[in-house]
Chain A
Amino acid sequence: MTGRQEFRGLKGLKKQRRIQVILLAVVALIAATGLVGYAMRDGINFFRSPSQVVQAPPPPGEVFRIGGLVVEGSIRRGEGTEVSFAVTDTNATVPVRYSGILPDLFGEGQGMVALGRMEGDTFVATEVLAKHDETYMPKEVVDALKEQGVYVDPKARPES
């Protein structure tokens, strides 16, 4: 320990001042987190919903993720690993084309997230991920649907 008295960090402070310092730090942290979260509120989402894509079409060539439910009866297998299907949040539907291996959980009525770009009206995916949760209902997708007030239980939804 040095004998310096000018600045000793928290050690040189009385209890009440230490509490004040911590409270100030907490307030600053919450404010900083809130501001960062607010600034990035759109950028933090992992994927865009079909409605967002339809409402605000991304510039051609932009690579992004689209997520939603695979429309029942929309999966068409082509040559080799080619597959096409439609993804929906029940408000809007976007056709997807993909060539590659699909994850085990991928299926009609299931949640999925695809990475790729728009080519005309079709989303051409380079990677397809399946979403899951323990309820076997894509909770995040369902929440996104609920927010729009159009949520229908995917298991109860009639074949579209």
Chain B
Amino acid sequence: MSIWEYANPKKFMALSTRALPWAVGLTVVLLAVGLVWGFFFTPDDYKQGSTVKIIYLHVPAAMMAINVWIMMLVTSLVWIVRRHHVSALAAKAAAPVGLTFTLIALLTGALWGQPMWGTWWAWDPRLTSFLILTLFYFGYMALWAAIEDPDTAADLTSILCLVGSVFALLSRYAVNFWNQGLHQGASLSLDRQENVSNVFWLPLLVCIAGFALLFVTMVLLRTQTEIRARRLKALLARERVA
């Protein structure tokens, strides 16, 4: 029994179909609890007032925007090395979800920056590399759509994903390399817990878990759709020949 067995489309379909109801349920519960807790049952911050509540959308979305790209990198590399089609399709399925997280993070970041920093946008290293990551998401999806042969598309998008990882990692670690930026440091390093009061920290953790599970749910669903679409294409092709 090896993990690679789940690269078999049939096995993947069976497992994901069984896992999906649980993933959906947990996502709904975690997101509902985390967001309601965060928005309605946390005190106002002593400095930022209630503006701080946008953290419950901004931080999980930005984290997932970067994590999704890393997940796409891993599945792309699995595709290149082991040629599992499910792996390539999972990367393809993840991209629009990751792009959505990225746009949520950009939007909430602007809404947060305006009252706090005094600007919607600044060409800070972290913000800039995150914007480039957004463009990579668009480019990645466009490249998938532009190439007809699915294996060629998977190969080339995998390489694009590898290159884009530079900016995914930069937007996470830029604050460590260049400490003179506008954006704050890592919100969630482990030593951070003593700085963030638990009243804010616990609902934030729930929201992050909720966003992560939301992604798992979406990616399972979308990968299933991709697999079915490919099966359909194969069926139609066979019918034309017959």
Which A positions have Cβ atoms within 8 angstroms of B? 1, 9-11, 15, 18-19, 22, 25-26, 29, 33, 37, 44-49, 67, 101-106, 113, 127-137, 139-140, 143-144, 147
Contacts and interface: CB of A to CB of B under 8 A. Distances in A.
Interface stretch (B24-32, B91-99, B103-111, B176-184): B176-184
Among A18, A37, A44, A136, residue most surrounded by chain B Cβ atoms (within 10 Å): A44
A47 B180 contact: yes
A67 B122 CA distance: 14
Contacts of A137: 195
Contacts of B47: 105, 132, 136
Nearest to B129: A44
A46 B181 contact: yes
A59 B111 CA distance: 36
Interface stretch (B8-16, B151-159, B225-233): B151-159
A13 to B, nearest CB: 10
Given A103-B118, A131-B182, 18 more contacts: A1-B149, A9-B152, A10-B155, A11-B152, A15-B81, A15-B82, A44-B125, A104-B48, A129-B117, A132-B117, A133-B187, A134-B187, A140-B175, A140-B180, A140-B185, A143-B179, A143-B185, A147-B179
What class of interface size applies to chain B in its complex with A?
35 or more
B182 A10 contact: no
Contacts of B185: 133, 139-140, 143
A22 B181 contact: no
B117 A131 contact: yes
B115 interface: yes
B180 A18 contact: no
Nearest to B118: A103
A82 to B, nearest CB: 17
Contacts of B142: none
Contacts of B82: 15
Query: Which among B80, B83, B180, B200 has the greatest number of chain A C-beta atoms within 10 A?
Result: B180
A143 B176 CA distance: 10
A128 B117 CA distance: 9
B80 A46 contact: no
Given A143-B179, A144-B179, A135 B155 contact: no
Contact of B122 (A106, A129, A133): A129
A33 B173 CA distance: 13
A25 B58 CA distance: 33
Contacts of A9: 152, 155-156
Nearest to A146: B179
- CB-based closest 6 A-B pairs: A103-B118, A133-B184, A135-B195, A45-B180, A143-B179, A139-B185
